[in-house]
Amino acid sequence: MLYPTELHALKFFNFFIEILIILNLANLIKECIKTIFLNTLKINNFRNHKSFEIDLKEQRTIVLGCNGIGKSNLLESVEFLSQLTSNRALSDKDLIRNDSDMAVIIGQIDFKDDLRVNLLRKGSKKVYVNQSLLKKQGDIKNYIQSVCFCSNDINIVKGEPNYRRVWIDKVVSQLEPVYVELMKRFTRLLKQRSHFWRSESFQKDLSSEIIESFDTQMSIISTRIFRRRRRALAKIKPYVEYWHNYLSKS
């Protein structure tokens, strides 16, 4: 017997699948990203889940349940495992269960690669592939990619420009994992430059050499970032143009 909320979820799922078929998004995914299967998922102290493990043997899995039991949290763990970010949390620490100092997400990919993310309340997250710590965390996207659909996606169209920039960053980071490291380096340089600009040492010597050094490094990295954004947009441009013309009848 299905509860009313479960019936609504099932109806929405069927409607959503029909929309995906109409938009033919499968072709875009096949061209840009290879097919990857998440075989098992295990989470500990993630959101409201103290311990949860599931075998994903089928190609399609529907999660049904009453409100508040953690269905969205389960999907969020998959998103975080593949993208190392969450569309629902301002900080990684928000994902850790209140009575714990660490949350763990473990997944097996294609019955061969074991992925693990440790979220620490004190310190930064740790990412492992086959028990080996990744120096470049973004490399985990070489093993798993995912596409997250949520109600907030309407902001990509109707919201402020920042929503579109965040969406583009997510798309590019999955198509080119090195993009994540480039963004981190650029952000780090920007913070260091701003800190030095406000520091007493800069006010004393009034030298622009260090600032120029920051600007040079940021210019090089921003060029690499721009190239990767342009390549990603070039890949999705034909689909956007086709469906825009189809929907607008022009």
Q: Assign residue 123 a region (left: φ > 0; alpha: ψ between -120 and 50; beta: otherwise).
A: left
On whether both 138 and 172 belong to a single domain, the answer is no
On whether both 161 and 122 belong to a single domain, the answer is no
Give the total number of structural domains in the chain: 3
Is the confidence at residue 33, as pLDDT, over 90? no
- Please tell me the predicted confidence (pLDDT) of residue 23: 47
Q: Of 99, 121, 120, nearest to 48 (Cα)?
A: 99
- Please tell me the predicted confidence (pLDDT) of residue 27: 53
Is the confidence at residue 162, as pLDDT, over 80? yes
Question: With bands split at pLDDT 50, 70 and 90, how would you rate the model's confidence at 250?
Answer: low
- Please tell me the predicted confidence (pLDDT) of residue 97: 96
- Please tell me the predicted confidence (pLDDT) of residue 204: 58
Residues contacting 127, CB < 8 A, separation 6+: 84, 115, 116, 117, 118, 133, 134, 137, 140
On the 0-12 / 13-18 / 19+ scale of CB atoms within 10 A, 178 is middle
Boundaries of domain holding 14: 1-32
What are the residue ranges of helices labelled H in the chain?
A: 4-23, 25-32, 71-83, 155-158, 161-175, 178-198, 200-205, 209-248
On whether both 200 and 132 belong to a single domain, the answer is no
On whether both 141 and 42 belong to a single domain, the answer is yes
Please, are residues 39 and 14 in contact by the beta-carbon 8 Å criterion?
A: no
Is the confidence at residue 96, as pLDDT, over 70? yes
On whether both 135 and 194 belong to a single domain, the answer is no
On whether both 43 and 116 belong to a single domain, the answer is yes
On whether both 222 and 190 belong to a single domain, the answer is yes
On whether both 78 and 134 belong to a single domain, the answer is yes
**Which has the minimum average pLDDT: 11-20, 35-44, 67-76, 82-91?**
11-20
Q: Is the dihedral of CA 8, 11, 14, 19 positive or negative?
A: negative
% of the chain residues with pLDDT over 90: 41
On whether both 169 and 209 belong to a single domain, the answer is yes
Q: Which two tokens stand for residue 249?
A: 């009848």
- Per DSSP bridges, beta strands 102-109 and 126-129 are unpaired
On whether both 44 and 145 belong to a single domain, the answer is yes
What average pLDDT does range 74-84 have in this prediction?
Answer: 93
Residue 54: give its domain's CATH number.
Answer: 3.40.50.300
What average pLDDT does range 203-212 have in this prediction?
Answer: 70
- Please tell me the predicted confidence (pLDDT) of residue 2: 40
Is the confidence at residue 245, as pLDDT, over 60? yes
Domain end (from 149, 175, 191): 149
Beta-ladder partners of 114: 108
On whether both 180 and 218 belong to a single domain, the answer is yes
On whether both 72 and 5 belong to a single domain, the answer is no
Is the confidence at residue 243, as pLDDT, over 60? yes
Question: With bands split at pLDDT 50, 70 and 90, how would you rate the model's confidence at 18?
Answer: very low
Domain end (from 149, 177, 193): 149
Q: Of 71, 65, 64, nearest to 49 (Cα)?
A: 71
Domain end (from 131, 149, 167): 149
Question: With bands split at pLDDT 50, 70 and 90, how would you rate the model's confidence at 4?
Answer: very low
Rounded to whole angstroms, the Cα distance separating 171 from 158 reads 19
